[in-house]
Chain A
Amino acid sequence: MYGLEAINANNGWSISVVGVSIVFSGLVMLSIVISQLYKVLALLEDPSRIKAFFKLKKVRKKQAGKGPEKQAMDRETLNENQKEIAKQFDLLAGTMQESFSLPRLLLLARISDLKDPYSNLDQLLKTKIIVPDGSGFFSWDKDRFGKTIS
């Protein structure tokens, strides 16, 4: 038996389809697991991230219950800890020129051992204390800073 007849008689099509599917699903599964592996390891190495993750979830849940205006207000306010850190960021920004690069500020924050520099910097951006100047650099809005921490 030769040709298509032989392929049909020996279940060639179905064996090929099953084979290709298994090889693909095996490697897809492996690639998905591997792509998440470093994130899981990072979480396990720093348990505070897990806590932060659940805290964030709670906050999001709370915010979901509030109206959009209130949510916008929450984004623009800082809690006491954040205010303290914002003051430290203010000192750091003061050591730099009026227009500064964000990675540089972040580096200084990390060198100065500020707590959670990434998330706090993000908060300062959200509250618009740090504002982009349109040329890839950022500036420190002193008025807004004063109003926010007062």
Chain B
Amino acid sequence: MEALFIEFFQNTGFYLCDYRYIIMILVGLVFIYLGIAKDYEPLLLVPIGFGMLIGNIPLFKGLGLGIYENNSVLHYLYFGVTQGIYPPLIFLGIGAMTDFSTLMARPVLMLLGAAAQAGIFITFLGALALGFAPNEAASIGIIGGADGPTAIFLTAKLAPRLIGPIAVAAYSYMALVPVIQPPIMRFFTTRKERLIRMEEPREVTKKEKIIFPILAFLLCTFLAPAALPLLGMLCFGNLIKEAVVTERLAQTARNAVIDTATILLGITVGASTQGDVFLTSSSVGIFALGALSFCVATAAGVIFAKFMNLFLKSKINPLLGAAGVSAVPDSARVVQIVGQREDPTNFLLMHAMAPNVSGVIGSAIAAGVFWSLMA
């Protein structure tokens, strides 16, 4: 009986636990805290944080419980991540929620979304310099797109073993947008520039709104066909939103579909951060490069906005460049907050949504480019 008791004890988490699981459980708790108490991306951080708890319960290998064990339930759910199924579903929901009208009213702001993608390619170079393989470097670089689903999608295709650290880095930095971006925005702009008021955007007709997703899809996927799964779903989601006659579908996409996909993606990505797999030197490198990527992307957007002002008659507020990273709508909100600190009557949110959503398109194109060049 004593032997039986000892055998049972040896299979418990208390016996199998080592410091790596404890660290990851603590990180998971921090995520849950940030999500609930600080309201930083709660819809993502809470599922990921809890997923970290699930993934870091020390298990006796062979029971078929761990996410990396072939016959486990978690492994089947994780299939949606490794095969890139959840990110396009999330894009479908994003498309069904997003209003592209500010982008259509002033299409020149789209260039800010393109400029911010420079962070992706500079980080790609940084990751190569640090000794990562090109496919891994591309997956790390895409963190700078500030688009969790895109980062996961590309990593699933190019470097599946890095999904955990890349997803956690991408979502952590997305949640920390209000902390990371403002100092960079202030550093690269003068007070006078931050006070610039934007012109009122023109009214966009319903027809334009309906045609936009079709045109955007055709143009972008003809140019970068590998962006098809993400852009296809994004544009389709937007079309069913704008078409009105498909409102029922749009409602499902922006509620049930995106919520289900987010829950499954969050939980399984969190669970994939198993201490013994996750805590490696490359994870530390990924986190450092991810931070660099975010900072470069923000700076590139702001600097490009200043550059555009050299040629534009009606100047744009360079703070909008920071919204080019596609953390929708957080980076647009940050622009609004930083702008209003200088002038409480200056409303930049609506204008910042234009580079913000073009950043989503830009990062999906960048992911497509990487995929086609590396696959």
Which A residues form the contact surface with B (CB < 8 A)?
A: 1-4, 6-7, 10-13, 15-16, 18-20, 22-35, 37-38, 41
Contact = CB atoms under 8 A, between A and B. Distances in A.
B134 A10 contact: yes
Interface of B: 103-104, 107-108, 110-111, 113-114, 117-118, 120-122, 124-125, 128-131, 133-134, 137, 202, 204-205, 207-208, 211-212, 215-216, 219-220, 223-224, 358, 361-362, 365-366, 369-370, 373
B208 A4 contact: no
B114 A2 contact: no
A31 B111 contact: yes
B128 A6 contact: yes
Interface of chain A: mostly helix, strand, loop or mixed: helix
B129 A6 contact: yes
B362 A23 contact: yes
A44 B369 CA distance: 36
Nearest to B135: A10
29 contacts: A2-B129, A3-B129, A10-B128, A10-B134, A12-B128, A12-B134, A19-B124, A23-B362, A25-B223, A26-B219, A26-B361, A26-B362, A26-B365, A27-B361, A27-B365, A28-B110, A28-B111, A28-B114, A30-B107, A30-B110, A30-B215, A30-B219, A34-B104, A34-B107, A34-B212, A37-B215, A38-B205, A38-B208, A41-B211
Contacts of B107: 30-32, 34-35
A26 B207 CA distance: 22
A82 to B, nearest CB: 30
A22 B369 contact: yes
Contact of B219 (A15, A16, A33): A33
B120 A34 contact: no
Contacts of B220: 26, 30
Nearest to A25: B223
B129 A27 contact: no
The listed residue with most B CB atoms (<10 A of its CB), out of A3, A13, A20, is A20
